[in-house]
Structure formats: C-alpha cells, structure tokens
C-alpha cells in the first residue's frame, strides 16, 4: 500500500480589477467601524468595515486587505476581505502583491 501525499492548494480571493478592487494596507483605526488604508495606487482612503467582517475577523494595523473604492467618493472605500499571515506568505511566493504596498518582505 502506497501513501500518496497530495499538496492542497490554498484558495483565497484576489482583487477583481474589473470591479475596481485593489490591495490595501490597514494604517490606523478611526473608530466606529472605520479604518484608514493605504492603497496600491498610492492614495490614502477611509475604509468602512462591514458588519460581517467586523464580527468574524479583527483587522489590525499592517493587515493586507482587498478594498473597493466608492464610485461617487474616491477618498472612501469598502473593505471586502482581510488576508491571514499564511495567505500573505502564499501571495509573496507567487509575487502577487504590488511593490507599492509590499511591506511584508
């Protein structure tokens, strides 16, 4: 009997560029479910943490996020997803994090 070790590939979402989503780094908590983020395009935006993320995952300073800027106010954005440390390591290995926000190396 031969034991086969199958490597399980981690699946995690990537920013959907067609919807305007992008990577961002959490910079500073502002209170009331808001957080200041630095985006991959170089802009600083005010991010809104939705209830489903607020209740399940804590966002800390320095976390890698996916955000979607608002269409009518470019200086504000919705936070879509927070990456774990393992997922960040996988993104770094595949060179998927832009150099403009890569603070993890």
pTM of the predicted structure, to 2 decimals: 0.82
> What is the per-residue pLDDT for 8?
46
Mean per-residue pLDDT over the chain, rounded: 84
The secondary structure of the chain in percent helix, strand, coil, rounded to multiples of 5, reads 15, 30, 50
Q: Specify whether the CB–CB gap between 38 and 44 falls below 8 A.
A: yes
pLDDT over threshold 60, residue 88:
yes
pLDDT over threshold 70, residue 55:
no
pLDDT over threshold 70, residue 89:
yes
Q: Give the rounded percent of residues in the chain with a pLDDT score beyond 90.
A: 44
Q: How far apart are alpha carbons 7 and 81 in whole angstroms?
A: 25
Sorted by where each starts, the structural domains of the chain and their CATH numbers stand as 17-93 (2.40.50.140)
Band the pLDDT of 99: cuts 50, 70, 90.
confident
Q: How far apart are alpha carbons 6 and 81 in whole angstroms?
A: 28
Q: Give the residue-averaged pLDDT of 11-38.
A: 90
Q: Give the residue-averaged pLDDT of 5-34.
A: 81
CA 9 to chain centre: 19
DSSP letter for each residue of 34-79: EEEEEETTS-EEEEE--HHHHHH----TT-EEEEEE-SS-TTEEEE
Q: Give the residue-averaged pLDDT of 53-69.
A: 86
**Gap between the terminal Cα atoms of the chain:** 42
């Amino acid at each position: 009997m031969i034991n086969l070790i199958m490597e399980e590939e981690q699946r995690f979402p990537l920013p959907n560029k067609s919807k305007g989503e992008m990577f961002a780094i959490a910079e500073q908590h502002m209170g009331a479910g808001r957080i200041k983020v630095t985006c991959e395009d170089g802009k600083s935006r005010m991010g809104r943490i939705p209830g489903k993320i607020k209740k399940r995952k804590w966002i800390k300073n320095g976390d890698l996020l996916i955000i979607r800027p608002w269409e009518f106010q470019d200086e504000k954005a919705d936070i879509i997803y927070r990456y774990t440390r393992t997922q960040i390591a996988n993104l770094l290995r595949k060179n998927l994090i832009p150099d403009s926000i890569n603070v993890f190396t």
